[in-house]
């Protein structure tokens, strides 16, 4: 009997590892679809007002999605989270507060406002700047070394964006003429890069994801709730149309937002850093292809060239040069 009990976890781990590629593909899919679904909701909400009001705003979308993520992670280990909060050093508390502001408020708001003005394809490719921005901030702030071949990576990413800007036709998938949208995208990139550096600092405390992700998402959700109540009133959360409940709560909130976090955690246990990061990079392709397929955003040869250069810039750091034989 004891042997059977001890063998069950190993059997479950073995089954999870065998399903690893499917889980990783699921993570890439749900994370890549978030921008396309959110853009679709923005467009549909603008065309289908309820009581003269757009039923889609960053307030209710992020309140619901972040509440779901936060509640799920805190409930997974409530005692651990509570014990960590009670014994949290002041420096760690300040870092987590900054993480919450940057990653669960400023970055999502800027992301939403940029997506409201730009195509999914343009915004997705602009967000490739997060990787070099994080590395440069880590160099200046944390005194970390730049990754190998960093300047090659940056050159390829900037080259891809310049190709889309200079050669892209008006109305094309990489048009960047709306500078307000581009500015909001860059704000979100900077906020995300700052958050990445803060998370490198807080990693040394060995805190649970219930605190570092769950509590921070709940804090952001409370802020979005307060803003929505001030701007729109409580009726902003009482839309009962079937499409709203299905797409905002079931699809975006549960399937995409919570699903991304759950699959990220599972894949983090099953894969090393490099294959997980490579898989995550593939979400860019999912975003671009899904925007072209489902939203009808133009995807032409110039956009494909931009995407290829940017993907080369993102992924080349994972491939080491072969050792020369003597």
pLDDT digits (tens, 9 = 90+) for 220-264: 999 999 999 998 888 777 776 788 889 999 999 999 999 999 999
Using alpha carbons, list the distances in angstroms from residue 211 to 71, 99, 102, 197, 270: 11, 11, 16, 17, 22
Q: What are the beta bridge partners of residue 115?
A: none
pTM > 0.85: yes
Query: Could you tell me if residue 43 is inside a domain?
Result: no
- Burial (0-12, 13-18, 19+ Cβ within 10 Å), 9: exposed
Alpha helices in 203-258 (DSSP H): 209, 216-231, 242-244
Residue 123 phi, psi (nearest 5): -65, -40
Query: Could you tell me if residue 165 is inside a domain?
Result: yes
Query: Could you tell me if residue 140 is inside a domain?
Result: yes
Query: Could you tell me if residue 150 is inside a domain?
Result: yes
Instruction: Specify whether the CB–CB gap between 38 and 112 falls below 8 A.
Output: yes
Q: What are the beta bridge partners of residue 50?
A: 53
Distance of CA 36 to the CA centre of its chain: 13
Query: Could you tell me if residue 309 is inside a domain?
Result: yes
Per-residue pLDDT tens over the stretch 9-49 = 555 556 666 777 888 899 999 999 999 999 999 999 888 88
| Beta-carbon count within 10 A of 106 CB | 19
Domain total of the chain: 1
Domain with 212 in it: 57-317
């Amino acid at each position: 009997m004891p042997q059977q009990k001890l063998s069950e976890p190993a059997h479950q781990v073995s089954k999870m590892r065998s399903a690893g590629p499917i889980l990783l593909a699921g993570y890439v899919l749900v994370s890549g679809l978030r921008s396309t679904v959110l853009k679709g909701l923005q467009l549909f909400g603008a065309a289908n007002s309820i009581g003269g009001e757009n039923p889609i705003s960053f307030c209710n979308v992020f309140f619901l999605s972040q509440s779901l993520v936060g509640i799920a992670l805190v409930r997974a280990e409530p005692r651990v989270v509570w014990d960590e909060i009670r014994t949290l050093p002041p420096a760690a508390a300040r870092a987590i507060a900054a993480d919450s502001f940057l990653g669960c408020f400023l970055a999502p708001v800027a992301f939403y406002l940029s997506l409201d003005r730009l195509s999914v394809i343009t915004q997705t490719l602009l967000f490739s700047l997060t990787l070099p921005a994080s590395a440069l901030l880590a160099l200046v702030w944390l005194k970390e070394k730049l990754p190998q071949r960093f300047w090659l990576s940056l050159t390829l990413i900037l080259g891809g964006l310049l190709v889309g800007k200079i050669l892209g036709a008006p109305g094309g998938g990489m048009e960047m003429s709306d500078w307000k949208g581009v500015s909001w995208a860059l704000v979100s990139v900077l906020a995300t890069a700052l958050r990445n550096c803060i998370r490198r600092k807080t990693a040394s405390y060995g805190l649970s994801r219930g605190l570092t992700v769950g509590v921070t998402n709940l804090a952001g959700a409370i802020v979005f709730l307060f803003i929505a109540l001030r701007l729109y009133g409580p009726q902003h959360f009482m839309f009962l149309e079937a499409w709203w409940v299905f797409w905002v709560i079931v699809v975006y909130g549960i399937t995409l937002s919570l699903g991304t976090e759950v699959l990220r955690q599972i894949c983090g246990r099953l894969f090393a850093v490099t294959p997980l990061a490579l898989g995550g990079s593939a979400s860019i392709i999912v975003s671009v292809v899904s925007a072209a397929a489902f939203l009808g955003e133009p995807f032409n040869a110039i956009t494909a060239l931009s995407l290829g250069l940017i993907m080369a810039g993102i992924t080349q750091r994972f491939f080491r040069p072969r050792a020369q034989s003597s």
